[in-house]
Structure 1
Amino acid sequence: MLKKLLVIPTTLFSVLVSAAISTILSVSLHAQEMADADITVQPAAGGVYMLQGPGGNIGVLATDQGLLLVDDKFAPLAEKIEAAMKGIEDKELKYVINTHYHGDHTGGNQFFSHKAPIFAHENVRSRLSSKTDHKVASLPVVTYKDGITIYLANEEIQLTHLTNGHTDGDTYVYFKKAKVLHTGDLFFEVGFPYVDLDSGGSVKGYLANVKHMLKNTPDDVVIIPGHGKLTDKSQMLAFAKMMEFSINKVSAALAAGKSEQQILNEGIGEKYQHLSWAFITEEKWLKTLVADLK
């Protein structure tokens, strides 16, 4: 008796092969990018530095009593991050902070957890532990609900949780003596923000959180954004105005009965369309606004 053979149509077979090749190439290119990546170091103020490379921006406090790390990018970059830190001050790592749970900010947790305790909002540990591929060693071991303060050498590091902005587990980190603010992904200097609606994010909550940081930090604060270049309060204020404009524009369009497609066709307007970037295009930003505000 002959067994029936599964016959895949030629067109479908081609699609499947193309998809498989694309996935393999994507993984291969990502691995190559990590291998080729450099971690650059830029002074912010006091003993605080910004480290850049693929993924979210890192903050480092360097003191003669040890180091403190804010976020740790992707796992393959961990040793390069450590080398960059040691290049600033060859001291022991004392503390690690996760500003939220996304992989481009927590990927190095497993490596660094063996060197220092990881601090994060309780929702960060919850979301990381819910991932099927998570490792226990990658989880924060000190969690908090509203915030916590860490003292290292003569610096006071204030960790403050703000609800439902980029995610439901966001923390901003303020170095009080140095007057440096690490916003995590509550500020994208590079362009339109990513609001993770599936992880408790909210566009109105995000704007409220940006306004909170503006109100509760000094005017001469140096800002390390989640993505983008080292910046200042004037740029974060402009970012808040863009968000407010976007929310008001889309809210009014929805109230007038306009469809998502009509809103996309109208666009964000000339003043802000230049803020479209590789990850969050103008279209994606508008779709996020519609999804959250409708």
Structure 2
Amino acid sequence: MKNLLISSIGLTFIAFTALTSVTVSAADDKYADVKIATQALSGSVYMLTGAGGNIGVSAGEEGILIIDDQFAPLAEKISAAIGEIAKQPMKYVINTHYHGDHTGSNAYFKEVHDSTIFAHDNVRKRLESSSDHVHAALPVVTYEQGLTFHFNDDTIRVMYLPAGHTDSDSVVWFEKANVLHAGDLFFQGRFPYIDLAGGGTVEGYIANAAKLIDMLNDETKIIPGHGDLATKQDYQAALDMMQQTAKYVADKKSAGVSLTTLIDQGLDDKWQDWAWNFITEEKWITTLYTDQ
């Protein structure tokens, strides 16, 4: 696969490899055992999992569109997995937000596959503001509110939702396939990460989740930013958790309970299974307390 890519793009690929070799070499051990798994969903839509944010794929006669692209060292594995789905040109990449586990392979798909990268205005601004950014990783087409693709016999709507996980969040709705890629506005079965420093807010995150749930029906398949393929009921369970824990923390804070004391007391035992290695109960309580 790699040799075929080199022969087809020549010096462009060599230049890209030279640019990223140090980063990739340093990360080889960390990602060496990561496998990219493919799951067919509906119509032309697929879901890929590996390390980092889940990837959505539209693959058909008109080409390939992907949503998010995980970490840079996984780019060739992702490309190979997509190649097993369809041998069509890789045309478009949509970033749901700016975090590196969703945008890390942007430069690869731009340089190697000549893909056009789409994202909200703030994705480009935040990526560009990083002193070590790679120019090829920046979105080429940006939007303020959203856009629509008419592609692979489906209508694919990209919608911006402000001040939720970050200030750059988009979700992608496949109308005919009835699939939603929610980006990191949905962590299936887990406490979510709300990037307060990146423009995210607890109130906005909860409001955005409620808005999206209202769009769905019981047959909708949801690709969460992280976690297994989900349903409307799963998303509702996550919303219920957020609303109840946010109210609990707000009430305690209003009563004068300090953050340290609240962390010591913890949440109700029924929320224990929502904690994970990145967002522990302590981190979730801290987020809720800080953003009240």
TM over 0.5, shorter chain: yes
TM superposition shift of 1:101: 0.2
Aligned to 2:241: 242
Q: So what's the TM-score if we normalise by structure 2?
A: 0.89
Aligned to 1:252: 251
> Counterparts in 2 of 1:45-56, with a 5 A limit?
45-56=42-53
Conserved 8 A contact 1:159-1:174 = yes
User: What is the alpha-carbon distance in structure 2 between the residues aligned to residue 33 and residue 190 of structure 1?
Assistant: 25
Q: Deviations over 1:243-293 (max 9, x none)?
A: 000110011001101100111122111111111101100011001111111
Conserved 8 A contact 2:58-2:152 = no
Cα distance change on mapping 1:263 and 1:28 into 2, 3 Å:
farther
Q: SS at 2:119's partner residue?
A: strand
Asked whether 1:95 is paired with 2:92, we answer: yes
Asked whether 1:169 is paired with 2:168, we answer: yes
Asked whether 1:83 is paired with 2:88, we answer: no
User: What is the alpha-carbon distance in structure 2 between the residues aligned to residue 250 and residue 29 of structure 1?
Assistant: 41
User: What is the alpha-carbon distance in structure 2 between the residues aligned to residue 228 and residue 182 of structure 1?
Assistant: 12
Aligned to 2:181: 182
Conserved 8 A contact 1:57-1:73 = yes
> Counterparts in 2 of 1:1-294, with a 5 A limit?
30-114=27-111, 115-293=114-292
TM superposition shift of 1:218: 2.8
Amino acid at match of 2:98: Y
Q: SS at 2:57's partner residue?
A: strand
Aligned to 1:6: none
Cα distance change on mapping 1:276 and 1:30 into 2, 3 Å:
farther
Q: SS at 1:184's partner residue?
A: strand
User: What is the alpha-carbon distance in structure 2 between the residues aligned to residue 217 and residue 126 of structure 1?
Assistant: 31
Q: SS at 1:186's partner residue?
A: strand
Conserved 8 A contact 2:119-2:139 = yes
TM superposition shift of 1:29: 8.7
Q: SS at 1:69's partner residue?
A: strand
User: What is the alpha-carbon distance in structure 2 between the residues aligned to residue 155 and residue 105 of structure 1?
Assistant: 23
Q: SS at 1:268's partner residue?
A: coil
Q: Deviations over 1:24-44 (max 9, x none)?
A: xxx999531312211110112
Conserved 8 A contact 1:48-1:61 = yes
Q: Deviations over 1:68-108 (max 9, x none)?
A: 10000000111110110110011001111000000000000
Structure 2: unaligned runs, 5 residues or longer: 1-23
User: What is the alpha-carbon distance in structure 1 between the residues aligned to residue 189 and residue 53 of structure 2?
Assistant: 11
Aligned to 1:12: none
Amino acid at match of 1:274: D
Q: Deviations over 1:209-233 (max 9, x none)?
A: 1001101233311000000001100
- In the TM superposition, structure 1's runs of 4+ consecutive aligned residues that sit over 4 Å from their partners are 27-30
RMSD: 1.3
TM superposition shift of 1:190: 4.0
User: What is the alpha-carbon distance in structure 2 between the residues aligned to residue 262 and residue 36 of structure 1?
Assistant: 41
Q: So what's the TM-score if we normalise by structure 1?
A: 0.88
Query: Which has the higher Rg, Structure 1 or Structure 2?
Result: 1
Conserved 8 A contact 1:190-1:227 = no
Amino acid at match of 1:236: Y
Identity rate, percent: 49
Conserved 8 A contact 2:59-2:152 = no
Q: SS at 1:132's partner residue?
A: coil
Conserved 8 A contact 1:276-1:282 = yes
Conserved 8 A contact 1:204-1:247 = no
User: What is the alpha-carbon distance in structure 1 between the residues aligned to residue 58 and residue 104 of structure 2?
Assistant: 20
Cα distance change on mapping 1:59 and 1:258 into 2, 3 Å:
same
